[in-house]
Amino acid sequence: MTAGTTTGTVKEQAFDVLRRYGLTTLFSNPGSTEVGFLADLPADIEFVLGLHEGSVVGMATGHALATGSPALVLLHTTAGYGNAVSALATARANRAPLVVVVGQQDRRHLAHEPFLAGKLEGLAGEYPVWQHTPARPQDVPGALARAWHEAREGRGPAVVVVPMDDWAAPAEEGLPTAAPLAVDGRRTASDGAVESLAAFLSEAEAPCLVAGAGNDSPEGWRALTELAERLRCPVFQEAFGARAGFPQDHPLFAGHLPAVRSALRTALAPYDAVLVVGAAAFRQYPYAPGDFTEPGTRVALVTDDPEEAHRSPGELVLLAEPGDTVRRLLPLLSARDRIVPMPPRVLPAPPRETEPLRAAHVLAALAERLTPETVVVEETPSSRPALHALLPARAPLGFLSAAMGGLGFAMPAAIGLRRATPDRPVVAVLGDGSSLYSIQSLWSAAHYGVGVLFVVLANGRYAIMDRLSEREGAAAPAWPAFTELSVSTLARGLGCPAERVEDHASLLSALDKVLPGLAERREPLVLEVAVEADPEYPS
């Protein structure tokens, strides 16, 4: 397109903008205030329907994380935007760029607060990286262009509120001028800062590294692996990491950091220098008093997330792209001739088939059968430590979880991720309680032929909450179990193929049947596995 082109309506010009930025897949649950935009949708704009706004945003989040580019979401005024807030918070914590269009009532009677008028400003709190209501209809296309840049640079949801009558308004001539076509730039550490980081590591007798979700890229993995091998030091994964920042089958991988300060201090006590790459220092839950590290342990940090940089108590913090920074750091360091002591790793004992079927049996069976390029999307709080131990991430984007910690992410995110990477196997591992927060997304998986394997660990209760209640000294949890629930029945009711497994032999048979062809599969499958709840709280 060239300047001077005349486009008839705001809607037509808006679609030109969306095409220019590659926003041609639209994730939505439609409402009346968006019908003017959706009527006669152009053939090159693909509409992906989700049956709940949380699933809509979850699918878009998975798509954006897989492609690295903003995904497009359309939400319905207060009801849709409100339903989506938790998913938008997760998208922000997971650094997923989204362009979110929210419908609004007609401008011409907003002053009278008509039916379906939304008080939308601030509804999602501080989770959007940018929110804007254009002052006039002709500013909508430019606002969409700016939203793409805001989402991409802020790595989160950028929200544009559009009153329903704006789409039919006449557009101005030419292209919108509110945003550039492209922005070329990145956060690069100065030479002096990289030299200071090299000195920090060179002066250490026993350094260690901590990998975070922000290092989950091919360049990040390569650079951090070379750094660990040059320093001959252990590499931990951040606690509650939403993605893996280092190959977890590498001999120098030391496991996941503890999530409680007392245990974290013990884990890091043998090291006099800790370099955190692609994460904050340090993520914890629950609260415990005291410092993160023992006296004498120095902490440095490399992250391209300003919020992580600003809240981390490190003595040296570089706000820069992790992979590029570590790559520039390597020539400044000499290879060490002695290995820094590795912490002992206690892996779970292989489960015996004589035991009741538990989550560890399922995870061990998956570990024996999944290929390295498989993406595991996790949402099973009570089994997460076992999953980390038994299913190491072996390739970038090999592991994905909700950084916010809220439930309802894994099922739709796995769908969006597989749609964006159709030749990469995707397995979502969820608890039965977790699955209910976005169970309706299975309809989208079935309708659009998305070949995700959903492994639902069904123990008929909120096992993580039961264990936490026991820790508080309660004789019994205040909430009931829900053993009557059948996830496989719900899945089939939504048009999604499903099987229920209740013993070891059936589990292995089902996995052996579906996993060899998972990369080519174009139909989802829910595998509901009846498991006994783990008897202890995972630490």
Neighbours of 331 (CB within 10 A): 8
| Cβ-contact 363, 429 below 8 angstroms | yes
Is there a domain that residue 175 lies in? no
pLDDT value at residue 3: 41
Chain centre to alpha carbon of residue 401: 5
Nearest to 55 by CA among 83, 32, 35: 83
Same domain, 156 and 250: no
pLDDT tens for residues 150-202?
A: 999 999 999 999 999 999 999 988 766 566 766 766 689 999 999 999 999 99
Mean of all residue pLDDT scores within the chain: 92
Give per-residue pLDDT as tens, 272-328: 999 999 999 998 888 889 899 999 999 999 999 999 999 998 999 999 999 999 999
Binned at pLDDT 50, 70 and 90, residue 472 comes out as: confident
Domain of 198, CATH number, reads: 3.40.50.1220
Is the separation of the CB atoms in 333 and 198 below 8 Å? Answer: yes
What average pLDDT does this structure show over 357-365? Answer: 93
CA atoms within 13 A on the CB side of 501: 26
Work out the pLDDT band at 4, boundaries 50, 70, 90.
Answer: very low
Structural domain range at position 431: 359-530
Task: Report how far residue 248's alpha carbon sits from residue 265's, in angstroms, rounded to the nearest whole number.
Answer: 22
Do the Cβ atoms of 420 and 66 come closer than 8 Å? yes
Q: Is the pLDDT of residue 528 over 60?
A: yes
What distance in Å separates the CA atoms of residue 15 and residue 23, rounded to the nearest whole number?
A: 9
Q: Which pLDDT value is given to residue 178?
A: 64
Alpha carbons 508 and 503: distance in angstroms, whole number: 9
Q: Are residues 93 and 241 in the same domain?
A: no
- Please report the pLDDT score of residue 153 as a whole number: 93
Lowest average pLDDT, out of 2-11, 86-95, 153-162, 331-340, goes to 2-11
CA angle 74, 77, 82 (to 5 degrees): 90
Model pLDDT, residue 177: 57
Say yes or no: 367 and 511 in one domain. Answer: yes
**Contact present, 307 and 203 (Cβ < 8 Å):** no
When pLDDT is averaged across residues 207-230 and rounded to a whole number, the result is 98
Q: How confident is the model at residue 445 (pLDDT cuts 50, 70, 90)?
A: very high
Tell me if 69 is assigned to some domain.
yes
- Per residue in 244-259, pLDDT (tens digit) is 999 999 999 999 999 9
Instruction: Kindly state whether residues 319 and 242 are assigned to the same domain.
Output: yes
Amino acid 5: pLDDT: 46
Q: What angle do CA 101, 35, 10 make, to 5 degrees?
A: 60
In a domain, 353, yes or no: no
| Nearest to 40, CA basis, from 17, 65, 11 | 11
Are 149 and 217 within one domain?
Answer: no
The predicted structure's pLDDT at residue 338: 86
59 neighbors 50 (Cβ within 8 angstroms): yes
Cα separation, 327 vs 332, whole angstroms: 10
Pairing of strands 453-458, 98-104: unpaired
Q: How many distinct structural domains can be found in the chain? A: 3
Q: What is the spatial distance between Cα 399 and Cα 374, in angstroms, rounded to a whole number?
A: 9
**Among 283, 301, 292, 299, which residue's Cα sits nearest to residue 238?**
283
Least confidently predicted of 229-243, 256-270, 279-293: 279-293
CATH value at residue 427: 3.40.50.970
> Which pLDDT does position 247 carry in this prediction?
98
pLDDT at 471: 78
163 lies in the same domain as 227: no
Q: Is residue 98 part of a domain?
A: yes
pLDDT at 537: 45
- Return d(Cα 101, Cα 157) in angstroms, integer: 10
pLDDT in tens, 372-410: 999 999 999 989 999 999 999 999 999 999 998 899 999
Identify whether 505 is part of a domain.
yes
| pLDDT at residue 476, rounded to an integer | 83
Interval 17-75: pLDDT, tens: 999 999 999 999 999 999 999 999 999 999 999 999 999 999 999 999 999 999 999 99
Same domain, 399 and 364: yes
The whole-number pLDDT of residue 418 equals 98
Shared domain for 366 and 297, answered yes or no, is no
In this structure, are 314 and 407 located in the same domain? no
Least-confidence region, from 83-92, 104-113, 180-189, 412-421? 180-189
